[in-house]
Structure 1
Amino acid sequence: MKAVKTPSIALIGECMIELQHRADGSLQQSFGGDTLNTAVYLSRELGEGAKVDYVTALGDDSFSDAMCQSWAGENIGLSRVQRLPGRLPGLYCIQTDAAGERRFLYWRNEAAVRDCFTTPAAAPILAALPAYDVLYFSGITLAVLGALGREKLLETLIAARQRGAQVVFDNNYRPRLWASVEEARAAYRSVLPHVDLALLTVDDEQALFHFSDCDAVFAAYEQVGTPEVVLKRGAEACLIRCNGEAFAVPAQKVERVVDTTAAGDSFSAAYLASRLKGGTPVEAAEAGHRLASRVIQVPGALIPR
């Protein structure tokens, strides 16, 4: 992945109202979503020298107002955010067990983001996206956009790469968001040939494609032609294949895991930020592990600045 001195990055996806279920039964309200989490951490890692914009659709309610205010406070651009009258953002609740592993409960079927690329107001946004240096999206993005939205996204990715943009994909597979595993596989396979950097979670790859081991994952992405592939494996070393070279970078040890929410999202943000600043794949993975190790020691998706 080539370094960019003052990168412009558009992250496409969904932010939801987050409810963190506490041990005493109370609920702590905040905001989160995989690509939004990455956008926040990416903005923090890159600082003022970068342009980080979030691409989504929200409602015209007070929660959507608060989201936009929160993003602006993180130096995330709002010019690609649509506000749809009468609509609402999605909502999810995080429940964690004693080991810090999380379980999600979702309310998102009517979320405004489902029409993100199908409204008349989406046309100028789609036209503007190929001019960014980096486009970032995830498997959850693919799911929530729906079939028509995915078609628009694919057209945009192709146009962006033709203009020299780099495309980054985080696999984040959530079976509940798809009508079938076959539908999900088809959607993933349609975009993977247009990805420059794939940030993968090994469990998601095995759940979606039934790969037997890590070598099978890398072989599949080599066949697709993805030049840089990062395989995230939780507390184990992440594995990287980049332009024919292979690396294994150990994770950082953490004595007490509080909440693993956004561990992968934060890793992806720090990895991408490092690569855009000229870091090697190993340096980028080390940065990813450092940030993720801090995130999993704090409840919720976004740790304090």
Structure 2
Amino acid sequence: MGRIVAIGEVMVELSLAGPGQAALAYAGDTFNTALYLQRLGHEVAYATALGTDDPFTRAILKVMEREGLDASLVTRVDGRLPGLYAIERDDRGERRFFYWRGEAPVRQIAELADVEALTDAAAKADLTYLSAITLAVVGDAGRAALGGVMREARAVGFDLNYRARLWPDVETARAAIDQAARSSTYVSASDEDLEALDLMDGPQRWAAAGAEVIQRGHDHGVTIRRPAAAPVWIPGGPKAPAVDTTGAGDSFNAGYLALRLNGRDPQAAVEGGRRLAGVVVQHVGAVIPRASMPR
């Protein structure tokens, strides 16, 4: 089993359930993946920045403790609160997000965190995992600091999770995401995000640079691109009935990476990722109960 360092933001999650009603949980794209990787048998340390004495920070740390996530890379900041987001769902389980994260301390992680300790941890880990959302929320200084962490990491997993509202403009996002993907060992990307960034040629270039690219198509098929190998297309399987699609991509990435780190081939990893995501979308919220985890 591998040792993993995941970097990003964990937030307060409100799943709207009707007038004046919401379910409270804690989630975030890389946090969701980190938690599922831990449940799938890997040792995961999560790096982020939180407050010190608020009920939300205490609850997040309690979740990390209960799930077995290593919190030694969590930076604590007096007087700050984690971000918050709310999810509104339609009858098909598709969702809209509403965010309050402007004062979240993770936005200044380059100034607040021990970047040297994070770099050292990444250099010793089997995999360092982050996303385009991580790059967006930490700003220019954070992206520069995380670029150094990625260069020292033994291997990097990167989720091309593009959220336009988090970036000053698409050109800044495209440049930062392209650079991160070229420095990664595994890149997970959807056609939707590639089209929005005008990076449809990216998977071929990133694979040529040494990455294993998992490209998820509009038809739910997956194309695996690897260095010096012909692309492999895996057709989409039956679509699981969805209650809430929040966390589907994050859980797919966890299932895929867990099996690849265990030595399984990409096709088996895709099926494992799909199996986990298929269960996740049948629950409200990004993180399902441990008892609902598939084998």
TM-score where L is the length of structure 1: 0.90
Distance 1:172 1:255 in 2: 22
Aligned: 1:263 with 2:248: yes
Of residues 34, 38, 41 in structure 2, which corresponds to 1:43? 38
Asked if structure 2 preserves the Cα contact closer than 8 Å seen for 1:58 and 1:113, the reply is: yes
TM superposition shift of 1:132: 1.2
Asked if structure 2 preserves the Cα contact closer than 8 Å seen for 1:181 and 1:208, the reply is: yes
Sort the Cα spacing of 1:195 and 1:100 in 2 relative to 1 into closer, same or farther, 3 A. same
Q: Deviations over 1:260-285 (max 9, x none)?
A: 11100000000000001110000000
Distance 2:178 2:197 in 1: 11
TM superposition shift of 1:235: 5.9
Distance 2:166 2:113 in 1: 25
Asked if structure 1 preserves the Cα contact closer than 8 Å seen for 2:192 and 2:218, the reply is: no
Equivalence for 2:220:
236
Of residues 161, 179, 185 in structure 2, which corresponds to 1:190? 179
Aligned: 1:177 with 2:170: no
SS at match of 2:231: strand
Distance 1:86 1:133 in 2: 34
Sort the Cα spacing of 1:72 and 1:237 in 2 relative to 1 into closer, same or farther, 3 A. same
Asked if structure 2 preserves the Cα contact closer than 8 Å seen for 1:242 and 1:281, the reply is: no
Of residues 281, 284, 291 in structure 2, which corresponds to 1:299? 284
Unpaired stretches in structure 2, ≥5 consecutive residues: 291-295
TM superposition shift of 1:217: 4.3
Sort the Cα spacing of 1:249 and 1:23 in 2 relative to 1 into closer, same or farther, 3 A. farther
Q: Deviations over 1:17-46 (max 9, x none)?
A: 00001145511110110000001111111x
TM superposition shift of 1:75: 1.2
Distance 2:241 2:161 in 1: 25
Of residues 251, 254, 275 in structure 1, which corresponds to 2:260? 275
Of residues 41, 46, 51 in structure 2, which corresponds to 1:54? 46
The 5 A counterparts of 1:1-305 are: 6-23=1-18, 25-45=20-40, 47=41, 50-60=42-52, 61-119=54-112, 121-160=114-153, 165-209=154-198, 211=200, 216-223=201-208, 225-233=209-217, 236-243=220-227, 244-254=229-239, 256-305=241-290
Distance 1:255 1:193 in 2: 33
Asked if structure 1 preserves the Cα contact closer than 8 Å seen for 2:212 and 2:224, the reply is: yes
Asked if structure 2 preserves the Cα contact closer than 8 Å seen for 1:59 and 1:112, the reply is: yes
Distance 1:167 1:288 in 2: 18
Q: Deviations over 1:236-274 (max 9, x none)?
A: 221111231322223442452111111000000000000
SS at match of 2:111: coil
SS at match of 2:129: strand
Distance 2:218 2:27 in 1: 20
TM superposition shift of 1:221: 2.6
TM-score where L is the length of structure 2: 0.93
Unpaired stretches in structure 1, ≥5 consecutive residues: 1-5
Percent of pairs identical after alignment? 41
Task: Name the aligned partner's letter for residue 54 of structure 1.
Answer: Y
Aligned length in residues: 288
